[in-house]
């Protein structure tokens, strides 16, 4: 007897499927408004597509195996390598900028915890061929407009934005030596899950000054003005100006609303390949994991052996988003119920009901009826249980009168 | 450098994705008209879910492996075991009849040939809890209405219907001994790919009479009247009457059109678990493999250890259907182009274009614009290349006048 799905995998009964469809429909609607077009790739890919990008250590988290043709393959853990491969293969013929999105199911073999299963669906939105921060603004505005389409507001969700280059310049202004950077990044990445004194101790142990330690522990509060003041006169001043332009663009794309985004240099993002602006969307209550994350990865296509094409993108999974929507009463799937339940006198041949069902269905209605002759009270009960929007009774007279 | 997908797997660039979306949208529209509701299961399942149904020999065609938790797992090669498992788990609470559909991607490791890849998408439509042929008619009408929704007619496609019980009774009336049945089934299954003399020789070798051999070689032409004449007075006469009722129901559900279905006792269907009416949809030209196949499998849920619930269903893949639609000029995907391309005087700040894009997007339009300042001629060229439906130029005056 087979009771359920594998651990970490979901069965989508009609109710869960309707919720998934609600999320995906909203994603697609907003992505199209931003003129992104949908693509997809295979859920199974050559293993080295992932090890080449992320190193051998990723294999421990993959559903990988050797297929019957002796190929090392893996269920896709993320979409970026696939889309990079697809864009690189047609880099010369694709219209630039390439504005693509997809909604793949992704797979990771990892310890299960809240908001983490072994599979999830992840919206991926990417732009290839646009070096300017205008593209970064377009991308983050699209992510925010998805929140709005789910009826979430900037009181519910915040976009924390950082820029690896600004962060590095800020740290340089605090006289953090280059060889301490990896250690400092690691501390910053864990700041919001670590007591301040612990972070301070670790930073001091890296040889940083008391002032540097204090500022880094509090780095999430650093404003753009703070950063601009500290990097004035250095080459990084241009990055700060660009960042300011980015914020202005994003506000314009959100109809003049600047309330969603804030600079937060504590956003490091685990993935090593980001080269510019990075961002994450969080619920303001801090109850959930990141809803969405992304940024610019200008060197990835080159490093995967493809062409040199600037790139940026974000991913938004269905699991955390679904938890957030449910917690706010905003999970609003369409009900899958018939438009019409067609009942009939028991004396009426079933063919007559079927002919009427055919007529209504040809007109576009969704129609259910009893698949055998039944008493009227049973038919009414069945119709009620089905939740059908309308109940129509067919009698001998109707049929005789057409 | 990663050039392409694994052999037998498809990359869905926007054009191919649009074709897939066209097929799936049509499937969903018609399935809903028939009051089927969508569900889904995991693409990865325990291996024994498949071996229990199909025997160990199926493993040779599966993408199976041992996961990092030591579980024998497989990428789903078909949906029926998953849906049987899901229905059995909630057999007591689900409203009957259960009318479900899904559109899973399925995986088989097999030799590639025309119309056969290593993955495909397959519409699955099933009814659980309805023992009468009315349900069989409902199911086949749904499959035919999908053909109609694709603008295919009964001149393009035929539904060949059989019934294992009728076939067995017909063979019994020809004095075919029970122990010859497996051999006879095997010959019948290959009739349309085998020269008549070869089939006749094989049947004669099984000890059949000359009359029986002649009738079996020509079994595809046997009409219901032929069968009824031969089984009159036997218990199988009731099956023949039921079959007649089924045909009448199917015609009614197709608005009185009886031209799609014909009895064809040569349809055996490889799967061993069918218990009643089975059917396959073919293009009349005979150019392609079966477009769709299904039937009644009343004992499967019981044999998988679940509850005793009559069941029937069909599967329709996207590959053969896509080939047929393309050959008829009926693959008509929606074009993924923007509604509006927004151009602007070079002197206008990009923020102004973005504010206007935001306004139009908030109104539901899909909007693209240049992600950097560009000459008007370059913007026009880009807009043309994009195929956008409309092109609007924003000037300084527009902005000053709001």
Can you spell out the DSSP letters for B177-232?
Answer: -GGGHHHHHHHHHTGGGS-HHHHHHHHHHTT--HHHHHHHHTGGG--HHHHHHHHT
pLDDT given for residue B55 in this prediction: 86
Q: Per DSSP, which regions of A345-396 are E strands?
A: 367-369, 390-394
| Alpha carbons B85 and B93: distance in angstroms, whole number | 14
* pLDDT exceeds cutoff 90 at B216: yes
pLDDT given for residue B110 in this prediction: 84
> Across the interface, which of B2, B145, B362 has its CB nearest the CB of A85?
B2
| Alpha carbons A326 and A336: distance in angstroms, whole number | 19
Q: What is the CA radius of gyration of chain A?
A: 27
Q: Are B47 and B74 in contact (CB under 8 A)?
A: yes
| Alpha carbons B1 and B213: distance in angstroms, whole number | 59
**Model confidence pLDDT, tens digit, residues A203-222:** 999 999 999 999 999 999 99
Please give the average per-residue pLDDT across A319-346, as a whole number: 96
pLDDT given for residue B271 in this prediction: 53
* pLDDT exceeds cutoff 60 at B1: no
Burial per residue of B305-314, b for 16 or more beta-carbon CB atoms within 10 angstroms, e otherwise: ebeebbbbbb
pLDDT given for residue B94 in this prediction: 96
Please give the average per-residue pLDDT across B126-141, as a whole number: 98
| Alpha carbons A7 and B71: distance in angstroms, whole number | 10
pLDDT given for residue A28 in this prediction: 98
Q: Which of A15, A134, A251 to mutate to test the interface with B (most CBs of B within 10 A)?
A: A134
Q: What is the CA radius of gyration of chain B?
A: 27
pTM, 2 dp: 0.96
| Alpha carbons B147 and B23: distance in angstroms, whole number | 11
To the nearest 10 degrees (0 to 180), the angle between helices B350-362 and A237-253 is 30
**Model confidence pLDDT, tens digit, residues B246-296:** 999 999 999 999 999 999 999 987 656 899 999 999 999 999 999 999 999
* pLDDT exceeds cutoff 90 at B378: yes
pLDDT given for residue A305 in this prediction: 72
Q: Do B21 and A38 make contact, defined as CB atoms within 8 angstroms? A: yes
| Alpha carbons A264 and A19: distance in angstroms, whole number | 32
With an 8 Å Cβ cutoff, is B305 touching chain A? yes
For B255, residues 6+ apart whose C-beta sits below 8 A from its C-beta are A355, A358, A359, A362
Contacts of B86 in chain A (CB under 8 A): 11, 13
Q: Min CA distance, A264 vs chain B (Å)? A: 23
**Model confidence pLDDT, tens digit, residues A3-58:** 689 999 999 999 999 999 999 999 999 999 999 999 999 999 999 999 988 888 89
Contacts of B350 in chain A (CB under 8 A): 134, 249, 252
Q: Are B231 and B174 in contact (CB under 8 A)?
A: no
A107 or A396: which carries more pLDDT confidence?
A: A107
Q: Count of A–B CB contacts within 8 Å? A: 251
Q: Are B260 and B241 in contact (CB under 8 A)?
A: no
| Alpha carbons B369 and A141: distance in angstroms, whole number | 14
Contacts of A46 in chain B (CB under 8 A): 2, 6
Under the banding of pLDDT at 50, 70 and 90, the label for residue A303 is: confident
In B, minimum Cα distance to A248 occurs at B351
Q: Are A131 and A305 in contact (CB under 8 A)?
A: no
pLDDT given for residue A52 in this prediction: 86
Provide the 8-state DSSP code for B276. S
| Alpha carbons B182 and B139: distance in angstroms, whole number | 28
Contacts of A66 in chain B (CB under 8 A): 65
Provide the 8-state DSSP code for A131. -
Q: Decide: helix, strand or coil at residue A48.
A: helix
With an 8 Å Cβ cutoff, is B27 touching chain A? no
| Alpha carbons B223 and B193: distance in angstroms, whole number | 21
Under the banding of pLDDT at 50, 70 and 90, the label for residue A328 is: very high
Q: Do B358 and A107 make contact, defined as CB atoms within 8 angstroms? A: no
pLDDT given for residue B52 in this prediction: 86
The single residue listed with the structure tokens 């900037």 is: A154
With an 8 Å Cβ cutoff, is A215 touching chain B? no
| Alpha carbons A156 and A285: distance in angstroms, whole number | 8
Phi, psi (deg, nearest 5) at residue B161: -115, 140
> Across the interface, which of A33, A43, A49 has its CB nearest the CB of B2?
A49
Q: Is the peptide bond before A104 cis (omega within 30 degrees of 0)?
A: no
pLDDT given for residue A33 in this prediction: 98
| Alpha carbons B103 and B23: distance in angstroms, whole number | 10
For A69, residues 6+ apart whose C-beta sits below 8 A from its C-beta are B7, B109
How many Å from the N-terminal Cα to the C-terminal Cα in chain A? 51
Q: Are A128 and A311 in contact (CB under 8 A)?
A: yes
Q: What is the mean pLDDT of chain B?
A: 94
Q: Which helix (H) or strand (E) holds B263?
A: strand B261-263
CATH of domain A14-327: 3.30.930.10
Please give the average per-residue pLDDT across A170-176, as a whole number: 94
| Alpha carbons B46 and B52: distance in angstroms, whole number | 11
pLDDT given for residue B229 in this prediction: 95
Any idea where the domains of chain B sit in the sequence? 14-327, 340-400
In A, minimum Cα distance to B105 occurs at A43
Q: Is the peptide bond before A97 cis (omega within 30 degrees of 0)?
A: yes
pLDDT given for residue A307 in this prediction: 84
Q: Min CA distance, A104 vs chain B (Å)? A: 12
With an 8 Å Cβ cutoff, is B392 touching chain A? no
Please give the average per-residue pLDDT across A274-290, as a whole number: 94
Helices (H), A150-255: 164-173, 181-189, 196-205, 210-217, 224-231, 237-253
Q: Which of B252, B306, B341, B356 to mutate to test the interface with A (most CBs of A within 10 A)?
A: B252
Please give the average per-residue pLDDT across B182-191, as a whole number: 92
**Model confidence pLDDT, tens digit, residues B321-332:** 999 999 999 999
pLDDT given for residue A53 in this prediction: 82
The pair of structure tokens assigned to A300 is 């990835």
Provide the 8-state DSSP code for A46. E
Helices (H), A97-180: 133-149, 164-173
The pair of structure tokens assigned to A113 is 């915890």
pLDDT given for residue A402 in this prediction: 56
Sheet holding B72-75, edge to edge: B44-46, B72-75, B64-66
B65 or A55: which carries more pLDDT confidence?
A: B65
Q: Are B126 and B311 in contact (CB under 8 A)?
A: yes
Contacts of B48 in chain A (CB under 8 A): 2
| Alpha carbons A59 and A75: distance in angstroms, whole number | 11
| Alpha carbons A139 and A134: distance in angstroms, whole number | 9
| Alpha carbons A209 and A230: distance in angstroms, whole number | 16
For A186, residues 6+ apart whose C-beta sits below 8 A from its C-beta are none
Q: What is the mean pLDDT of chain A?
A: 94
Closest of B139, B115, B116, B124 to residue B79, by C-alpha: B124
Strand partners, B75: B44
pLDDT given for residue A271 in this prediction: 53
* pLDDT exceeds cutoff 80 at A132: yes
For B321, residues 6+ apart whose C-beta sits below 8 A from its C-beta are B23, B150, B291, B292
Phi, psi (deg, nearest 5) at residue B37: -115, 150
Please give the average per-residue pLDDT across A287-307, as a whole number: 90
Q: Angle at Cα A44 formed by Cα A307 and Cα A271, nearest 5°?
A: 55
For A84, residues 6+ apart whose C-beta sits below 8 A from its C-beta are A300, A301, A304, A306, A311
In B, minimum Cα distance to A305 occurs at B1
């Amino acid at each position: 007897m087979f009771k359920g799905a594998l651990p970490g995998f979901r069965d989508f009964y009609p109710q869960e499927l309707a919720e998934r469809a609600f999320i995906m429909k909203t994603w697609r609607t907003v992505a199209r408004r931003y003129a992104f077009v949908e693509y997809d790739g295979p859920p199974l890919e050559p293993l080295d597509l992932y090890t080449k990008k992320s190193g051998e250590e990723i294999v421990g988290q993959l559903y990988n195996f050797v297929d019957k043709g002796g190929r090392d393959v893996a269920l896709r853990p993320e979409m970026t390598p696939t889309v990079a491969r697809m864009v690189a293969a047609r880099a010369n013929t694709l219209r630039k900028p390439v504005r693509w999105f997809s909604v793949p199911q992704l797979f990771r073999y990892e310890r299960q915890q809240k908001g983490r299963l072994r599979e999830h669906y992840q919206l991926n939105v990417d732009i290839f061929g646009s070096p300017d921060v205008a593209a970064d603004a377009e991308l983050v505005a699209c992510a925010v407009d998805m929140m709005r389409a789910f009826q979430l507001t900037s009181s519910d969700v915040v976009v924390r934005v950082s820029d690896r280059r600004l962060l590095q310049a800020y740290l340089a202004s605090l006289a953090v030596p280059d060889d301490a950077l990896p250690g400092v990044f690691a501390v910053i990445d864990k700041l919001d899950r670590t007591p301040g004194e612990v972070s301070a101790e670790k930073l001091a142990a890296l040889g940083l000054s008391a002032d540097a330690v204090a500022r880094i522990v509090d780095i999430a509060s650093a404003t753009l003005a703070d950063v601009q003041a500290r990097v004035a006169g250095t080459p990084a001043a241009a990055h700060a100006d660009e960042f300011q332009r980015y914020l202005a663009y994003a506000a314009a794309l959100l109809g003049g609303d600047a309330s969603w985004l804030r600079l937060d240099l504590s956003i490091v993002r685990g993935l090593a390949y980001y080269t510019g602006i990075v961002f994450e969307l969080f619920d303001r209550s801090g109850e959930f994991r990141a809803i969405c994350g992304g940024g610019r990865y200008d060197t990835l296509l080159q490093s995967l052996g493809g062409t040199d094409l600037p790139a940026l993108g974000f991913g938004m999974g269905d699991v955390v988003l679904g938890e957030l929507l449910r917690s706010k009463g905003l999970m609003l799937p369409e009900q899958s119920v018939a438009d019409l339940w067609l009942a009939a006198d028991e004396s009426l041949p079933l063919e007559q009901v079927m002919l009427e069902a055919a007529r209504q269905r040809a007109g576009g209605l969704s129609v259910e009826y009893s698949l055998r002759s039944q008493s009227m009270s049973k038919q009414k009960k069945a119709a009620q249980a089905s939740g059908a929007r309308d109940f129509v009774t067919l009698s001998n007279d109707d049929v005789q009168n057409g």
